[in-house]
Homo-oligomer: A and B are copies of this chain.
C-alpha cells in the first residue's frame, strides 16, 4: 500500500482511519499516496486553531507575522525540487506549468512578507482619517480594522495545490487569522507536503496552520460567526456552501471564486499585419495550453472583428498545431495532462456540448501523444472552436455560459467596427475573472478597459509597447485583485493589502480625540 498522508490538526500530525482515497499519476496511471480525514475530531481541530492559534497570532504585530511569512518562503524555496517532483507526478504538469503553481505560490507569499513589513508594529489597522461628528472637533469617529477572532477555512481547487494555498494563507496569516486548509483530494499531496515543511520548521505558533486532506464533510458545520470561509471550485459547490446555515444564519463571511468564461478582445480597427493581432494570437495560444487550460483565468472566448476571423483562426491553429502533448517528463513536451480521468471525461463532454453550436477550427484529437499511452494518460490536445459569423455569435448561448476546464477556446466574431457588439457578447458571460484587450491606440484601450471593469475583476491590456513586459492574461499577480462578479462568484482575493480586508472587521470608534489619540 502507498503512504497514507497525515493531517495536521490540534498541533499534531494525525492520520485518518480507513484505507483512504488514493491519488494517482494522471499520465502513468499509478497510485502515489492516499489521504483520509476519517475519524478526526473536527470540533477540536477548529477550536484549537480558533483559540490557541488565533490568540498566538493576534499577540504578534503585522511586522512579526510578515517576518514569519518571509521565513516560510525560505523553507519552501529549500524544498523546491521536491515540489516539482510531486507536481509532475500528481498533476501531470510540464516544468513551466509547475512553476506557475509552485513558484507562483512562493512569490505571492514573499510579496505579502514585504507588504506586511510596511504595516509595522501594530496589532490592528487604522482605516482612513478621523471624521468630525459635530462642529466642535473634540468628538470624532475613527474607523479601525481588527483581525477577526475566528479561523479561515480554505476549501481549494485541484489546479493550484501550491499557489491556491499561499495566495489565501499569506493575507490570512499576515492578518493574524489561523488557517485550516482543505485541499482538493486529487492533488492534495503538494499542499500537505508544503504545510509539513513549514510546520516542521517551527515558524508559526501552534494552531496557526492546519491541513485536512480527504473529505470536506462536516467542515462547514464547524464554522462560527467570526470565522470566514474561502472556496475555489465549481458554481454548484459554491451554492451549497452559500446555503449552509453557518453562512445564512451565522453571517460567516464567504469568499467564492467559481466558474468564469474569460475573454480576449481584439479592438476594432487593427489592420492585417498589426502587432496587436500577433500579440493576441500568441497570448491566446499560451493561455489555452498553460496547465492544459486548467486555469480559472484562462481565455475561453476570443472576440475579433468578423473580417479578421479567418486570419486569426489560421494563425491560432498554426500555433496550436506546434504544441507537443504527452508525458511531461519529456523535454520536448509542451503540454502534459489534465488532472485525472474524471476531468478528462468532463472536458470531452464539454467539447461535445460546445461543438453543437460551433465549428472546429483546430482539432486537439489530431495531436499524437509523446511517450504516453492514450488509454491511460489524461492528455488532451488543444482545440479551437469558432462561431464563424457575427450574427451566429448572437445566436450561440453555450459559448458564453460554458467553461470547459481544459485546452479549449472559441473564436467569436463581432461586427466590424462595432465595439459595443463585442462588449455585449462579453457581458453575456455574466461576470468573469479577467478580460484581456489588444490594440495599439492607447485611448481606445483605456475606454474599452473602463467599459469592461464593472463585469471583470481584472482587465489586462496588451499593447505593443508592453509586449515584453506584460505579465500574462491568466497569471494572477498578487498586486492585482483576483475574483470577479456574477458567475465568477463575486469574490475578491489578493490586490495587495486589499486582501487583508476579508480577514479584518471594520469598526467605527466614536470618542473624544483624547481617547482616539491613544488607540
- Residues of B contacting A510 in the complex (Cβ-Cβ under 8 angstroms): 458-461, 470-471, 477, 480
User: Is A442 in the interface zone, CB < 8 Å from B?
Assistant: yes
User: Is A508 in the interface zone, CB < 8 Å from B?
Assistant: yes
User: Is A466 in the interface zone, CB < 8 Å from B?
Assistant: yes
In the docked arrangement, what's the CA distance between A235 and B225, Å?
Answer: 13
With both chains docked as a complex, state the minimum distance between the C-beta of A119 and any C-beta of chain B, in angstroms. Answer: 15
- Residues of B contacting A508 in the complex (Cβ-Cβ under 8 angstroms): 457-459, 479-481, 495
Contact B253 A511 (CB under 8 A): no
Q: Interface 1/0s, chain A 477-519, versus B by CB < 8 A?
A: 1011100011111101001101000000111111110111011
Query: Which residues of chain A from 160 to 206 have any CB-CB distance to chain B below 8 Å in the complex?
Result: none
- Residues of B contacting A238 in the complex (Cβ-Cβ under 8 angstroms): 248
- Residues of B contacting A496 in the complex (Cβ-Cβ under 8 angstroms): 128, 131
User: Is A23 in the interface zone, CB < 8 Å from B?
Assistant: no
Contact A141 B445 (CB under 8 A): no
Contact B455 A505 (CB under 8 A): yes
User: Is A342 in the interface zone, CB < 8 Å from B?
Assistant: no
Contact A454 B148 (CB under 8 A): yes
In the docked arrangement, what's the CA distance between A128 and B247, Å?
Answer: 31
How many chain A residues have a CB neighbour from B under 8 Å?
84
Q: Interface 1/0s, chain A 460-479, versus B by CB < 8 A?
A: 11010110011100000101
User: Is A138 in the interface zone, CB < 8 Å from B?
Assistant: yes
Contact A461 B242 (CB under 8 A): no
Contact B479 A133 (CB under 8 A): yes
In the docked arrangement, what's the CA distance between A256 and B134, Å?
Answer: 28
Q: Interface 1/0s, chain A 242-263, versus B by CB < 8 A?
A: 1101011111010010100000
Contact B486 A226 (CB under 8 A): yes
A residues adjacent to B (C-beta < 8 A): 124, 128, 131-134, 136, 138-139, 141, 143-144, 146-149, 225-226, 235, 238-239, 242-243, 245, 247-251, 253, 256, 258, 430-431, 442-443, 445-447, 449-450, 452-461, 463, 465-466, 469-471, 477, 479-481, 485-490, 492, 495-496, 498, 505-512, 514-516, 518-519
5 closest A-B pairs by CB: A225-B486, A251-B490, A461-B511, A480-B508, A146-B454
